[in-house]
Structures are given as structure tokens and as C-alpha cells.
Amino acid sequence: MKRYLILISGRGSNMESLLDAGLPGVCAAVIGNRPDAAGLALAESRGIATMVIDHRGFASREKFDSALADAIDHFAPDLILLAGFMRILGDAFVERFSGRLLNIHPSLLPSFRGIKTHAQALAAGVRLHGCSVHFVTPALDGGPIIAQAAVPVQAGDDEAALAARVLIEEHLLYPRVARWFLEGRLQLLEGRAHLSDQIAVEGALHVPQLAPQFAQRNSA
């Protein structure tokens, strides 16, 4: 059975969605870069091994990356899932785990890379926003996109409202993509995400319907 490992920095809501999904594999460990990350206690309560590698204890990004990579290798995962892991990983780290390192980003990449994506989307006046799951490469939020979920931007949205709508789709999309990988249907080939059958490709874009209250408002 394949093994996956999750990296977190905070509350771990995407981590929880992965653990709840009944993935075809074993969660080998959850590693956090902050000792106060709430997701660590949640993982421990489920009997999952946890580890803290506090980035503040290292003199350089490279030394932190090296320690983190060594810890990951100890658990020998087939797949590494970044789930709200708020650290930029260096080129050497990314190349070490190339092809088995996934991230979920709260925007429809390549738009709105980096942080404060919901504020960026609102400032740009886009009508659709969402999230993307991608393979991690040295380019920040620039790896091959695997799947995306789109949500409508509603009149009167603020960052919190838009973020909450996107988060619902993150919790649906990320476990789906992780499942594809663990089932051997997803891989990185020649710099592109490759899904082994057309059903997976057709299911890659998930556009949720409007919530009932919005549908009623738009039909009025």
C-alpha cells in the first residue's frame, strides 16, 4: 500500500479533508514547521505520527529544507502533500522530490500567485475565482496544473466570504487529486501532469453550482 505524508503550518483543514477521504494509502506522518500548528494535535488524535521542524531554528532556508527533506525520507512516502504549508521550498528540495510533491493553491493559476489571493481576485474584479492543485516545481506556484475548481465571485463579497467559498472546493478537489496519484493514474511526464484516462481529465474541472440563495437572486 502506498504511503503519503502531509506538510502543514496551521489549522490543517485541508489535511483533515485528506484524512477524511479514505484515500487508498496510509498517512505515514504529518510534519509541521510551527510547533503551535493546530493540525498537529488533530493528526495525533487520529494516531498519526507527527513531527515539528521549526524553521525558526535554522540559520538558513537551505538548512531547514535539508532537515525537512531528511525527515520526509525517514517516513519513505510515495506522495507528499502540501496542505497550507506556508514556506517557500528551495530548488534542491523540490528537485529531490520531483514528481511526488503536490500543492493546493487558492486561486485559478496562473492568476494570483503568492499570498493574499482572495484580495487580489477582488481587486482585479474577476467573476470566477477558485483553487488549483499542481505539481510543485522551483517556480513559485508555477508547476504543472492538475485540476482546478471554480466558484462565482458574488456582489458584496469580501475576502472572508470568498475564501470560505473557495475552501469548500479545496476540500473536495485535493483528496480527488491525491486519490488519482495513489491509484497510479496521475504522474508528471515531461513537465506536464498526465492523467491515465479521459474520465479523470473530464472530471478535473469542478465548477460548483450556485448556492440556492444566489440562484434565486439571479433568477429574479
The residues annotated as belonging to the active site are 105
| Cβ neighbours, 10 Å, residue 9 | 18
Set of cell numbers at residue 123: 481587486
Q: How many CA atoms lie within 13 A of 90 on its CB side?
A: 12
CA–CA dist 177, 96 (Å, integer) = 21
User: Helix, strand or coil for residue 103?
Assistant: strand
For 58, residues 6+ apart whose C-beta sits below 8 A from its C-beta are 64, 67
**Residues 87/116, Cβ–Cβ less than 8 Å:** no
**Core vs surface per residue 24-33: b (16+ CB within 10 A) or e:** ebebbbbbbb
Return the closest-CA partner of residue 173 out of 14, 10, 12.
Answer: 14
